[in-house]
Structure 1
Amino acid sequence: MPRVVSIYLPDLPTDRIRRADPSLPAEQPIAVIARSGSRRWVAAADAAARKVGVKVGMPAAKAQALFRDLMLVDADPAADAVALERITLWALTQYSPIVAMDAPDGIVMDTEGADHLQGGEQLMVTATANRFRAKFLTARVAIADTWGAAHACARAIARETVIVPPGKTGHAVERLPISLLRLPDQIVTDLRTLGFQTVGQLSATARAPLALRFGPEIGRRLDQIYGRMAEPIDPIRTPDIVEVTKTFAEPIGAAETINRYVAGLVTRLVGELQRRGHGVRRTDLIVEKVDGTRQAIRAGTAKPSRDVTWLTKLFRDRTEKIEPGFGIERLTLVAVMTEPLEEVQKASSLVEDQTTDVVPLIDVFANRGQRVYRVMPVASDVPERSVRRIDPAAVAAGATWTQHWPRPVRLLPRPELVEVIALMPDHPPVSITWRGKRRRVKRADGPERIFGEWWTRDAEYEAVRDYFVVEDETGERLWIFRSGDGVDPATGSHRWFLHGIFA
């Protein structure tokens, strides 16, 4: 069943201003001012401005009187629209084949065929909110069965993420205000005059009188929010995006027929990419059905590719997920992410290449929804900062770790507290209790003292860790440390932690 994600950007105008000028301090309140003749009012206010009492709709003079240092910026709807388009195009490359602007302050996307690549719905909406926050964009993310329901829930529920379970749309929207039905403002005002406040009240009213007075718009929006009427999402496109289309005079549905036409589309797409000197990293197959619904499949590659055979295979492995229904009337193949690609000879009849190319294996794993990455050394003494994840097909930087002390093959996501018996200040533990199991220490090596990185944050100015490699009675080797030097409380809590496990 299709699932729709709505990403609401409530502070888009002020977020755009902050992103354009990173020097603005976070505590600086910003208000966007709209004008109509001599009238000036607050069209948008960021969190800092709302904290001092500034509200949307408030006269500009009153807002400035509330806080003398309030930064006033003239509204620029055109710049906001351009920013929203850029964000939507970025989301198209990151999340789903079907992404569109939900103007003026949101994005909508159909996650069917792509949510498994994000680890499921819960991880997807959480990661989406986190990534928008990392880009200094305030976002609320909601997922529901319909565009209308996701749109309304993202704007009505004051949480960063909202998940409406499949089949629970009616219960989720019945108490939401009618202003979230995406109706014209005048119709909303007239409905409120008649006493309608919630979607549920409006839905329970006979359609004929409403249609007679207001036309078909109310019935259409109600049917869309409840899923009784399809609301296709037209994906965002730009002239730079390469796409090829095949329209059928008679609907198709057989798997072998779909695969044959997909292979033809891949050949045409690669031909266009070759003319541009580009290779594709992410390709979307948009399936348009006779009943007006769409289904999408995404295939990605670790490196830019123009290999017709390989791209066709990636889609062939996934076309079994296509549900043709009453038939497919159009197939569209879209290169949503491309990069420059130069032709390189990979093999020669004169020299036998001993290097195994793992990129195809990476592609297979990634298109099954598995997350593939490599780790790269980072110049840091603090163990959890000494590595970072990079693209699995990235060119190796040639750097390596310089520590002379042994390091565990498995580093825990975060150090886990353990109970130990040890003589202070420099003796290793004689026993360890980890996750409720007591272990006697047979051998130990250490300490290796690691100092905090005071240039990273002030709290690490005097921080010290003393690491030990210990072996228990079963032969398992653990990497543990004491927070502090065992003497001065300023260097740490003197509690013990398990940080890694050796092979």
Structure 2
Amino acid sequence: MSRVVSLCLPSWPTDRLRRSLGASAPPADAPLVIVGRDGRKRVVVALNAAAGDCGLRIGMAATQAQAFVCGLVVRDAELAADAAALDQLALWALRRYAPVVAADPPDGLMIDVTGAAHLRGGEAALLTDMVERLAAIGVAARVAIAPTYGAAHALARTRAQPIFAADGGLPAVLGPLPISVLRLDARTIDGLRRLGFDTVAELAATPRAALALRFGPEPGQRLDQAFGRIAEPFELLTAPELIRVEQKFAEPIGAPETLARYTGKLVTALCEVLDAKALGARKLDLLFHRVDNRVEAIRIGTAKPVRDVKRLTRLLCDKIETVAPGFGIEAMRLSAPIAEPLDFRQSGSSLIEAASADVSALIDTLANRVGQAALYRVAPVASGVPERGVARLAPLAPPGGVTWPAAWPRPSRLFDPPERVEAMALLPDRPPVAFTWRGERRRVRCADGPERIFGEWWTREAELSAVRDYFMLEDEAGERFWLYRSGDGEDPATGSLSWFLHGIFG
């Protein structure tokens, strides 16, 4: 099933303008409008949130907007600059999220994440990452994901929160939406509303012949595209700086072994281009152009720059079974959206030191199967608070120089958040003699502690007097636990005196 993301940028012209102006941009809370021409009339074509809060709207006359809001910042529209910046944003999405990306002027992107969402930890993590990264650079965004781009486009422009639409639920999700989300021209929408059509459900229930006779085939076509009855072709992003090779076929192909053979040929050709540039691929996109104008895609990533033909071919061929050739594939295109200089290092002498094993091939295989977010290693962080003392790093990230504390052992498994338990102990510093966890009472056979950990007042002011007393406990069955009491056992200001299970020793 296809999964397509629509990225809507509701205030793209104003956000783009603020980023281009830099330090000279007007304050974020200042009402700002972009003015263009509608015939001989100057009208508002875009506005920021502050201008919208003042009651301004798109389509309003510029003179009316200036009279309505005192201190309104007015700028002329720069359509060419907005389109160029949107293409650059599409290129960013291509390199980071998915191999099939297209700009949807004037304020959006189409991103086909079929088979690529797991590389970012799933659909929810992908959409969250997309919105947060754009918000960090001052660009407001709304996203939706659906089986078709028509559905995702409609949902992204009517819902403020990320929307996940399933294949079978499209009629229920799209039915209540206004007909303006179907990407029809203004004259057609106005004519439909004059006839009493307000929602998508009402339009979908009308016989096609009557609609086509009066408005042409476009309303029916947009409905079919939104509900997935017909495919919707897109002009995919092509950047001149991308390294890519292509193979076209006189007759369509579709057998898996044929696809694998030509995949190897494309990888060989691409590696020759990379060799000429002294580069290695960090990410590869293999696109299969079908005869019905649909595009199937495979994306793989590597932990470090790679130019090994066999290795890259194996990673791509592992995913060929996910490709649906349909009635045949007429062209294949392999590109490297991310390519970096190879890291040439001289290996140490075997007479002096043992050669370190290269596990990057294993990491690449696992990461492309389960996703990059599921593959990591843990490293210590300079913090006394246990839950802050561990960080996730990339598998091949260099060591940070911080070592694990040796004074007190730490459990191999920590609970996030710590789980509340009922414990019986003599205050202020005696260990529990028994505790109840998840409905089961456990008697303590031996214990060690307390290990007192103070709050980090430089992190949060509320931790100025916070205290935890940790105990290592072993029950009668031989299982070992790591419990702490919130507070020092005497002063209520240091904690609630409640007990928590924070970890289990393996």
Q: TM-score, length-normalised on structure 2?
A: 0.88
| Match status 1:377 vs 2:380 | yes
| Match status 1:420 vs 2:420 | no
Q: Where does residue 189 of structure 1 map in the other structure?
A: 190
Q: Where does residue 397 of structure 2 map in the other structure?
A: 394
| Match status 1:451 vs 2:451 | no
Q: Do the aligned partners of 1:31 and 1:42 also contact (CA within 8 Å) in 2?
A: no
1:449 corresponds to which letter in structure 2?
Answer: R
Q: Do the aligned partners of 1:281 and 1:339 also contact (CA within 8 Å) in 2?
A: yes
Structure 2: tracts of 5 or more residues without a match: none
User: Alignment partner of 1:234: what SS?
Assistant: coil
Q: Do the aligned partners of 1:110 and 1:233 also contact (CA within 8 Å) in 2?
A: no
What pairs up with 1:171-186 in 2 under 5 angstroms?
A: 171-186=172-187
Distance 1:383 1:49 in 2: 46
Q: Deviations over 1:366-425 (max 9, x none)?
A: 111242112232222222222222211122233323452221112223222222122222
Q: Where does residue 228 of structure 2 map in the other structure?
A: 227
The alpha carbon displacement at 1:65 in A equals: 8.2
Q: Where does residue 107 of structure 1 map in the other structure?
A: 109
The alpha carbon displacement at 1:49 in A equals: 5.6
Q: Where does residue 355 of structure 1 map in the other structure?
A: 356
The alpha carbon displacement at 1:333 in A equals: 0.6
1:101 corresponds to which letter in structure 2?
Answer: A
The alpha carbon displacement at 1:191 in A equals: 2.4
Moved more, 340-349 or 60-69: 60-69
User: Alignment partner of 1:156: what SS?
Assistant: coil
Moved more, 256-265 or 93-102: 93-102
| Match status 1:3 vs 2:3 | yes
Moved more, 69-78 or 392-401: 69-78
Q: Where does residue 12 of structure 2 map in the other structure?
A: 12
Q: Where does residue 408 of structure 1 map in the other structure?
A: 411
Aligned pairs, how many? Answer: 501
Q: Provide closer, same or farther for how the CA distance between residues 52 and 492 of structure 1 changes in structure 2, counting only shifts above 3 A.
A: farther
Moved more, 398-407 or 147-156: 398-407
Moved more, 210-219 or 54-63: 54-63
What pairs up with 1:322-341 in 2 under 5 angstroms?
A: 322-341=323-342
Q: Where does residue 258 of structure 2 map in the other structure?
A: 257
Distance 2:489 2:19 in 1: 46
User: Alignment partner of 1:368: what SS?
Assistant: helix
Distance 1:438 1:127 in 2: 42
What pairs up with 1:88-487 in 2 under 5 angstroms?
A: 88-126=90-128, 128-129=130-131, 132-133=134-135, 137-158=139-160, 160-344=161-345, 354-370=355-371, 371-402=374-405, 404-487=407-490
Q: Do the aligned partners of 1:28 and 1:70 also contact (CA within 8 Å) in 2?
A: no
Q: Provide closer, same or farther for how the CA distance between residues 489 and 291 of structure 1 changes in structure 2, counting only shifts above 3 A.
A: same
Q: Provide closer, same or farther for how the CA distance between residues 495 and 138 of structure 1 changes in structure 2, counting only shifts above 3 A.
A: farther
Moved more, 332-341 or 6-15: 6-15
Moved more, 208-217 or 179-188: 208-217
User: Alignment partner of 2:497: what SS?
Assistant: coil
1:316 corresponds to which letter in structure 2?
Answer: C
Q: Provide closer, same or farther for how the CA distance between residues 352 and 367 of structure 1 changes in structure 2, counting only shifts above 3 A.
A: same
1:461 corresponds to which letter in structure 2?
Answer: L
Moved more, 121-130 or 58-67: 58-67
Distance 1:449 1:101 in 2: 56
Q: Provide closer, same or farther for how the CA distance between residues 394 and 119 of structure 1 changes in structure 2, counting only shifts above 3 A.
A: closer
Structure 1: tracts of 5 or more residues without a match: none
Q: Do the aligned partners of 2:33 and 2:51 also contact (CA within 8 Å) in 1?
A: no
Same amino acid, percent of matched pairs = 53
1:105 corresponds to which letter in structure 2?
Answer: D
Distance 2:15 2:441 in 1: 52
Q: CA RMSD in A?
A: 3.2
Q: Do the aligned partners of 1:45 and 1:55 also contact (CA within 8 Å) in 2?
A: no
Q: Do the aligned partners of 1:109 and 1:233 also contact (CA within 8 Å) in 2?
A: no
Q: Do the aligned partners of 1:287 and 1:295 also contact (CA within 8 Å) in 2?
A: yes
The alpha carbon displacement at 1:154 in A equals: 1.6
Q: Provide closer, same or farther for how the CA distance between residues 351 and 249 of structure 1 changes in structure 2, counting only shifts above 3 A.
A: farther
User: Alignment partner of 2:313: what SS?
Assistant: helix
Distance 2:66 2:381 in 1: 48
Distance 1:402 1:25 in 2: 50
Q: Deviations over 1:193-230 (max 9, x none)?
A: 33322222223334344434433332322221122221
1:107 corresponds to which letter in structure 2?
Answer: L
1:175 corresponds to which letter in structure 2?
Answer: P
Distance 1:220 1:101 in 2: 21
| Match status 1:494 vs 2:497 | yes
1:4 corresponds to which letter in structure 2?
Answer: V
Q: Provide closer, same or farther for how the CA distance between residues 39 and 435 of structure 1 changes in structure 2, counting only shifts above 3 A.
A: same
Q: Do the aligned partners of 2:11 and 2:46 also contact (CA within 8 Å) in 1?
A: no
The alpha carbon displacement at 1:248 in A equals: 0.2
User: Alignment partner of 1:416: what SS?
Assistant: strand
User: Alignment partner of 2:370: what SS?
Assistant: coil
User: Alignment partner of 1:270: what SS?
Assistant: helix
User: Alignment partner of 2:333: what SS?
Assistant: strand
2:412 corresponds to which letter in structure 1?
Answer: V
Q: Deviations over 1:268-301 (max 9, x none)?
A: 1111112222211111110111222111111111
The alpha carbon displacement at 1:28 in A equals: 3.1
Distance 2:350 2:492 in 1: 68
User: Alignment partner of 2:336: what SS?
Assistant: strand
Q: Deviations over 1:170-200 (max 9, x none)?
A: 3322222111111122322232233322222
The alpha carbon displacement at 1:51 in A equals: 5.3
2:157 corresponds to which letter in structure 1?
Answer: R
Moved more, 334-343 or 55-64: 55-64
Q: Do the aligned partners of 2:36 and 2:45 also contact (CA within 8 Å) in 1?
A: no
Distance 1:345 1:309 in 2: 22
